[in-house]
Amino acid sequence: MLDFMMSFSGIFTTAFLMSWLLVVTSERSRNEQGGCREPDTAELLRSIKTPDPEILHPSFLMMPNFRKMAVNIDHNSSEHAKTLPFRGEQGCHDAKRIVRRHGGNICPSYQVIDYDPDRVPSTIIQSKCSCGHCQRQDERERRHYGCERVFTYSRVLRRAGCSRHPVTGESVMQYNKVWEPISIGCSCKYQGLR
């Protein structure tokens, strides 16, 4: 039975990824039909992996002042952005079981697939909090404490618009390299008396 479930899981995962590939392909063709060609994928990947000499190590983004200067916190996802539940429990129905299942984490999270065609990479995994309030194993909420998402920051490319190539004259989509917040889990935080 376990082998059947494992193979079914693999088939489901493959089918799921194929459907996302179709979405990505249709988005790319939509842009090319509008007269603006996407740059070569290998070229985009090289540009995101190329270190910027003027940029500090990502660990500096733990400091609020650096984060304000560097991070695209107010990024607007495109109108075509989509999220899809991927793994984990979205609700907080049985707190005792959820806390036990998540290794004692009093702010469990679940993962969603975050797809934004205006970002490279277009598909990433983000975490969202399963519960609004911190949980206790006795199934009571911790008063004045709430679950909040924890972020790390990653370099991504964001579409900046179309421009003419200086040599060929064709319209090519331009991208800017930005720091973008990526939610990696949830943490219990004191929210004061309410």
106: CATH: 2.10.90.10
Structurally, the chain folds into a number of domains equal to 1
Q: Is a pLDDT exceeding 70 seen at residue 28?
A: no
Residue at 6 is within a domain: no
**Which residue did the predictor score with more confidence, 182 or 27?**
182
Four-CA torsion 152, 157, 160, 162, nearest 10 degrees: -170
Residue 110 maps to a domain: yes
Q: What is the pLDDT of residue 56?
A: 64
Smallest CA-to-CA distance from 148 within 133, 137, 168 is with 133
Residue appearing with tokens 């970002």: 119
- Whether residue 76 has pLDDT greater than 60: no
> Is 29 within the bounds of a domain?
no
- Which strand (E) or helix (H) includes residue 147? strand 141-164
Instruction: Report the run of H or E that residue 33 belongs to, with start and end.
Output: helix 2-33
Please state whether the peptide bond connecting residue 121 to the residue before it is cis, i.e. omega within 30 degrees of 0: yes
Identify the pLDDT of residue 186. 94
Residue 170 lies in a domain: yes
Amino acid at 103: G
In angstroms, the CA 113 to CA 23 distance is 13
DSSP 55: S
Q: Tens digits of per-residue pLDDT, 99-125?
A: 677 667 888 889 999 999 998 889 999
Give the pLDDT score at 164. Answer: 86
Provide the domain limits for residue 107: 37-190
In a domain, 140, yes or no: yes
pLDDT band at 66 (very low <50, low <70, confident <90, very high): low
For residue 111, CA distances in Å to 28, 89, 127, 164 come to 26, 9, 4, 39
> Within a domain: residue 7?
no
